[in-house]
Structure 1
């Protein structure tokens, strides 16, 4: 027998905001419901670094006191913010006590926009130290995937994804430097959009991943993703227009040599192709060009990002987890030898844009993952090599689109034989965010997915 859940837990952000604007409920009640659910479920998941109980209740009261709620697209919506993004009055953790920054004096612009839209920050979500690996854990223990508590929710926005999949919040902020929104979205069966360059205010400092990092949201529905994207991008409208006939490339080729998507993830691409054809689009088997040098450039940039973050944070390498010390040392070598070059990234961006334009493709579909998410436990204590192997083997498909600075989105299409979510990645040329969302909306309409993990959040809503 399942225990009852509060009224507004499990509702979408769109439903909550509409209810608060119409007076069907209050932001105070919605936040109280979610804080109660967090108290009951968070110990199982480990999604949050800090829960802002009293502060969130006060913020919710301020939302309720506003005279004109009609202008707030996220009125009363509880949201979690990734712990590497400044929230006034809180330290910025960056994934570990060693990397914790000082108390922020003001909100980052994306947090300011969320609050300005009526959202209430109830917690900060956990991430791996410096956001390096696609598994979220530290010395305090792992963050667990609500679909299977023995599995990771991915990284680096793993706490954000776990929180949304468990219904702790309806939407959560994340950022994506090499897949850090899309990989957790894929692990947890969510919609995760990485906008293209210059659309949303970028992460600050080294968190920006050499200009490739982007802020975004993880959600359970396409409508919530569209509303959240409009808020972060400073746009008035979140209206999606159903696309007419599109020409879409379909590829299962891995950008990492020697790694191949497993059968369930290849089947996910087949399922997506069928949905595209049923919606009236054309699906063409065509692999994007992944230059031989792409892997080496990607690795050098990945290493250098860790070195840059450690230097910016004033962190002696000896204070970092063992797996990250090697990563940062290699990054220093890569930077010293000039292996990380903006010109190389721009060349790949130009080539990637030409893949769409020269071939008449509107979008590209790939697997989101290559294998089932790894086990949740112990990665902070394992070797650098073990972390590298695990992350590259299960999540090779996201990084090229950060290097190319193109928009990319993950959307659910079913379940694996083991019951974990199956997703695909949609990639588009510059400015295609709303097209990506619109196609994902066609998927959702034709093949609705289970929005929350049944093991932790049994109510279906």
Structure 2
């Protein structure tokens, strides 16, 4: 019998429907798993045991009465702690926030509750979703279930760790420069950033208003299709179509490790991809940086004025440059964003899907800040926060050191279904989702 923490969303719904499994039993099992192993992972910053049990009982009654809301009814979910959940604090992994309880659910949490999902608790992040991990914050950083000495990606770090370790089958994160796709890449799971505006961002503590997206993390592509559909993502475009390989991102603009490059070539061959060209990766990175720093400082200027010493050193370094960015520079970045977006749109005249690197190296050790800073920049996710196009990251294989390698797919606006079609093809070639030693 498959252990509860390895059940897919389809298996969970089937069990609920047949009565072989109940939401109450599943929630108790996963709460016990959190108690058992999360002391080592640090993926959760708070767990709402009573609320989860209550929601599970209500979901159980609906399934028993034949009036379940859908496949997410009774499913345990974790929420990144920059997203408001009514009755829980939103601390953002920061000393500058309070323990005041949110009075209303964020838009994405309201959608989850409308589907009957069980909110288990709030998940670790980096301070205000900026970057990390660091050890000068009020909560410890989450760790990678494949190797606890390595980081799990971020800033939706707890979301990646919790899904990978089987603490929840679905987690909600945010993605401003790749923060859903980074943990998916580092942890070998599936991370979807739908197109800009597809999932609501109200009730999310902002990092950069025009770059912020809400995204989903699941263990498998099938799970992602179930969750995304339930939450309002249109997956009607259900074939990958013609695939364009943006090789220059990782072999000319930046340099990927040999193992990552070889894995990307294998994915490209499996999908019959042909090479295409976009603007250089550095052009996207510059625009992302200017906008993120400027909007990020504006979003958190009060904290810098009133209690900067309570912010982490990384947060201060990352955002303070935004205080000195001129209006001329910011407006130029906004205009260049339009140019870059148009260039990506033109690429879709020749192909239906883009294949790119996600992380150019595997996740490094969590206790090496210099290596974290170096490798965090070696990524190709930020371009699609700049342009807003849908993007999905997933495992491309395992390194010789036993850590996940990754790949990213990008589609036209409104064609998230192509991402999942390509991802399903590659996942099947890998033999299905992989499980880490901890799970």
CA distance in structure 2 between the partners assigned to 1:162 and 1:46 by the alignment? 8
What CA deviation, in whole Å up to 9, does each residue of 1:304-331 have, x standing for no partner?
A: 2431332366863222111211222101
| Partner of residue 412, structure 2 | 429
CA distance in structure 2 between the partners assigned to 1:40 and 1:90 by the alignment? 23
Q: Residues 183-332 of structure 1 correspond to what in structure 2 (within 5 A)? A: 183-204=182-203, 207=206, 209-233=208-232, 241=238, 243=239, 246-254=241-249, 259-277=254-272, 283-290=273-280, 293-311=283-301, 316-332=307-323
Q: Is the 8 A contact 2:281 2:383 kept in 1?
A: no
After TM superposition, which residue ranges in structure 1, 4 or more long, deviate above 4 angstroms? 203-206, 255-258, 312-315
Give RMSD over aligned pairs.
Answer: 2.5
Q: Is the 8 A contact 1:414 1:449 kept in 2?
A: no
> 1:371 offset after TM fit, Å?
1.0
Moved more, 194-203 or 137-146: 137-146
CA distance in structure 1 between the partners assigned to 2:36 and 2:162 by the alignment? 13
Q: Residues 42-441 of structure 1 correspond to what in structure 2 (within 5 A)? A: 42-66=38-62, 67-100=65-98, 102-135=100-133, 138-139=136-137, 140-204=139-203, 207=206, 209-233=208-232, 241=238, 243=239, 246-254=241-249, 259-277=254-272, 283-290=273-280, 293-311=283-301, 316-334=307-325, 338-339=329-330, 341-357=333-349, 360-377=350-367, 379=369, 388-393=373-378, 396-441=379-424
CA distance in structure 2 between the partners assigned to 1:326 and 1:444 by the alignment? 39
Residues 338 and 146 (structure 1), Cα distance of their counterparts in 2 relative to 1, 3 Å cut: same
Q: Partner of 2:330: helix, strand, or coil?
A: coil
Residues 402 and 119 (structure 1), Cα distance of their counterparts in 2 relative to 1, 3 Å cut: same
Residues 118 and 239 (structure 1), Cα distance of their counterparts in 2 relative to 1, 3 Å cut: farther
> 1:252 offset after TM fit, Å?
2.8
Moved more, 195-204 or 408-417: 195-204
> 1:79 offset after TM fit, Å?
0.8
What CA deviation, in whole Å up to 9, does each residue of 1:81-104 have, x standing for no partner?
A: 000000001111112232457321
Q: Partner of 2:57: helix, strand, or coil?
A: helix
CA distance in structure 2 between the partners assigned to 1:55 and 1:233 by the alignment? 25
Residues 248 and 165 (structure 1), Cα distance of their counterparts in 2 relative to 1, 3 Å cut: same
TM-score by length of 2: 0.92
CA distance in structure 2 between the partners assigned to 1:212 and 1:101 by the alignment? 27
Q: Is the 8 A contact 2:95 2:311 kept in 1?
A: no
| Partner of residue 40, structure 1 | 36
TM-score by length of 1: 0.87
CA distance in structure 2 between the partners assigned to 1:217 and 1:363 by the alignment? 20
* Structure 2 gap ranges (5+): none
Q: Partner of 2:360: helix, strand, or coil?
A: coil
Residues 262 and 150 (structure 1), Cα distance of their counterparts in 2 relative to 1, 3 Å cut: same
CA distance in structure 2 between the partners assigned to 1:312 and 1:234 by the alignment? 35
Q: Is the 8 A contact 2:90 2:102 kept in 1?
A: yes
Moved more, 442-451 or 203-212: 203-212
CA distance in structure 2 between the partners assigned to 1:65 and 1:106 by the alignment? 25
CA distance in structure 2 between the partners assigned to 1:100 and 1:296 by the alignment? 34
Q: Partner of 2:301: helix, strand, or coil?
A: helix
What CA deviation, in whole Å up to 9, does each residue of 1:362-413 have, x standing for no partner?
A: 111111111121211364xx7xxx76434113xx210011001100101222
Q: Partner of 2:392: helix, strand, or coil?
A: strand
* Structure 1 gap ranges (5+): 278-282
Query: How many pairs does the alignment contain?
Result: 434
Q: Partner of 1:49: helix, strand, or coil?
A: strand
Residues 439 and 6 (structure 1), Cα distance of their counterparts in 2 relative to 1, 3 Å cut: closer
Q: Partner of 1:9: helix, strand, or coil?
A: helix
Q: Is the 8 A contact 1:94 1:101 kept in 2?
A: no
